[in-house]
Amino acid sequence: MGYDTVTVARDNRVATIVMSRPEVLNALNERLIEELAQAVEEAERDDDVGVIVLTGAGRGFCAGQDARAMPGGGGEPMLAWDESPEEVRRGLLPILMDLTSRLLRLDKPTIAMINGVAAGAGFGLAMSCDIRMGSEKARFVLSSDRMALIPPLGLTWLLPRILGYSKAAEIVFTGRPIQAEEAERIGMLNRLVPQGELEQETMAMARQIAKGPPIAHLLSKQLLRQEMVRDLEAHLEKAAAYQTVCHCSEDHREGVAAWREKREPRFRGK
């Protein structure tokens, strides 16, 4: 299948899916979200694919949801300010939540190759993969706080399980960027390698895994993820409800306005 915002390459039982909007650091718009979900599904169904590698084109992994596609962001909005909470829940949120669920429930091993910033929903995509390889340019940012939103793509479910509760709470409540060395130290990155060696090292690991026994890998992953995903759907449903409340708040409008005007937001709890 042909894509506009995603490229897919297959080699040695490895499918590499590249988010390809480098001019905006691969920020997610509706088209990219849909095509990424389709590419992941196709790789999952392909018996000749043993490992899926996810990365971004250009200087970044994924800058999160395209702020220009937010209401008041200056572009064509995916959701409008005047939409009801019910319309918000039926609009973009199910697409994003479905992408998270799809990545976490994949039977095949997944590797995120993080070549730059992973912000917001991009942070969520990276953490949804089984293994994360990054270079010194990797940086994790929870941009949702500045937009008066909750962390996207199941990060409130993922981060405590990967990092522990206290470290997850610190990251969620402060929104401070996590640089590559700290990311490796606290377990966000499995391996930190020089930028010039990132693709080579990632593909070497992917090919090593892809040569392994498919049935054993499938069953091993199901066991590894079994306890983790037991309450996933309920968490994502609740997160969608909470995100809807945030989206419909005055604070979210202020966050988008502050982003456009390049100033600090002034939140009032409304």
Q: What string of pLDDT tens digits covers the 270 residues of the chain?
A: 689 999 999 999 999 999 999 999 999 988 999 999 999 999 999 999 999 999 999 999 999 988 665 444 444 444 444 555 555 545 555 677 778 778 888 999 999 999 999 999 999 999 999 999 999 999 999 977 788 888 887 899 899 999 999 999 999 999 999 999 999 999 999 999 999 999 999 999 999 999 999 999 999 998 888 767 667 777 777 777 787 788 788 888 888 888 888 899 999 988
Cβ–Cβ contacts within 10 Å for residue 234, how many? 10
| pLDDT for the residue numbered 167 | 96
| pLDDT for the residue numbered 135 | 98
* 65-101 exposure pattern, b = at least 16 Cβ within 10 A, e = fewer: bbbbbbebbeeebbbeeebeeeebbebbbeebbebbb
Pick the CATH number of 6-196+213-261 from 3.90.226.10, 3.20.10.10, 3.40.50.10950, 3.40.50.2300: 3.90.226.10
Q: How far apart are CA 153 and CA 157, in angstroms?
A: 9
Sheet hosting strand 110-114, strand order edge to edge: 6-11, 14-19, 51-56, 110-114, 131-134, 191-192
Give the ranges where 132-249 is alpha helix by DSSP (H).
155-163, 165-174, 180-186, 198-210, 214-229, 232-247
| pLDDT for the residue numbered 178 | 97
Q: How far apart are CA 104 and CA 221, in angstroms?
A: 10
| pLDDT for the residue numbered 252 | 83
| pLDDT for the residue numbered 87 | 53
| pLDDT for the residue numbered 72 | 44
| pLDDT for the residue numbered 1 | 63
What are the boundaries of each domain within the chain? 6-196+213-261
Half-sphere exposure of 52 (CA within 13 A, CB side): 30
